[in-house]
Amino acid sequence: MADNKPELLVTPTEVNDIERLVAAGATAIMIGEERFGLRLAGEFTREHVKEAVSIAHRLGAKVYVAMNAIFHNERVDELADYLRFINDCSVDAVVFGDPAVLMTAREVAPDMKLHWNTETTATNYYTANYWGRKGAKRAVLAREINMDAIVEIKENADVEIEVQVHGMTAMFHSKRKLIGNYMEFQGKSLSVENRGKDRNMFLYDPERDAKYPIFEDSSGTHIMSPKDICIIDELEEMLDAGIDSFKIDGILKSVDYLEEVVNMYREAIDLYFEDEEKYDSKKEEYLKRINEIQPHNREIDTGFFFKETVY
């Protein structure tokens, strides 16, 4: 078994969530603003970032700021100023996907810790280690790889490894408003309702009775998974492998829900390190409790942890 417990990372929806989530057991939070980060649970202005760092650090938790948006030429000049700002705030790490962020950080915030996250291309340890040699301290693994691949990557990685263990995931992203065109191309006739994250907009597939949350922001169009990942009853292999960070994604979730989920994962992780057999005996209880608080239209499953991706 690994010597150290994994970080428990969660994405809060607002500053007022932070104290509750850390008290529930989170040891790190990821925040940011829409202009620089993708699919955030909430919008954190510069003033909010300052407040978040103050609260989290007082409670012993880390703060990561998302800068993993897709940047075009006209936005690149904004990176230096924002990186200087979050560096001055003593943020613990920046989450990036675009090399422009990494190169700018080298110039204006050379001591800033960097977490590489493109959401889709971190599928092998060679790639993780490539970005490690470029300056990243952590790789956030793709959601579409299975448990065996995750363990193998951790065994061969020279950087920290982060894995999402709970919440919804992105299925489709376009920089443009392509919802209608995409559905037409797929031969589907799915209706679109509303536009923003706060309006419960979704695509409905009657064939599978599945609702796909969908929203559009300054980064484009996002279609999310119809089910939430939940791996609370299958943590053993990753805990034994020493995965560095478990992420609970809070997008489109209430703070009440997140608080309960964080608390359960905290309890499950601690129990496993205390007594594996006790954890094994409580796994079904954890799963039952999460099912009880799930939104009525969102089932849970194990994502791609135990199946191969079929394209």
> Beta-strand (E) ranges in 93-250?
93-96, 114-116, 138-140, 160-167, 170-174, 202-205, 210-217, 220-224, 228-230, 245-248
Hey, what's the torsion of the CAs at 35, 41, 43, 47, to 10 degrees?
A: -110
Residue range(s) in the chain whose domain bears CATH number 3.20.20.70: 7-168+227-301
Backbone angles phi, psi at 170, to 5 degrees: -80, 135
Full-model pTM: 0.88
Higher model confidence: residue 195 or residue 104? 104
- The answer to whether residue 186 scores a pLDDT higher than 70 is no
If residue 64 lies in a helix (H) or strand (E), which one and from where to where? strand 62-67
Rounded distance between C-alpha atoms, residue 299 and residue 19, angstroms: 28
For residue 95, the cross-strand partners are 66, 115
7-168+227-301 homologous superfamily: Aldolase class I (3.20.20.70)
Name the amino acid, one letter, at 152: E
Query: Which of 206 and 30 is assigned the larger pLDDT?
Result: 30
User: CB of 27 within 8 A of CB of 61?
Assistant: yes
pLDDT exceeds cutoff 70 at 117 = yes
Q: Which residue has the higher pLDDT, 52 or 118?
A: 52
Pick 297 or 56 by higher pLDDT.
Answer: 56
What tokens does 278 get?
A: 């006790």
The arithmetic mean of pLDDT across residues 274-279, rounded, is 95
* CA-based torsion, 306, 38, 120, 116: positive or negative: negative
What does pLDDT average to over the chain? Answer: 89
Furthest-apart CA atoms within the chain: distance in Å: 56
pLDDT on residue 310: 45
Q: Which two tokens stand for residue 191?
A: 């209706």
Task: Tell me 113's DSSP state.
Answer: -
Report whether pLDDT(87) > 60: yes
Helix (H, G, I), strand (E, B) or coil at 62: strand
Q: CA nearest 93: which of 53, 134, 41?
A: 53
**pLDDT tens-digit readout, 100-111:** 999 999 999 999
Give the tens place of pLDDT for each residue, 17-45. 999 999 999 999 999 998 999 889 899 99
Report, as an integer, the average pLDDT of 62-81. Answer: 95
CB 262 within 8 A of CB 248: yes
Could you report the per-residue pLDDT of 243-268, keeping only the tens digit for each?
A: 999 999 998 899 999 999 999 999 99
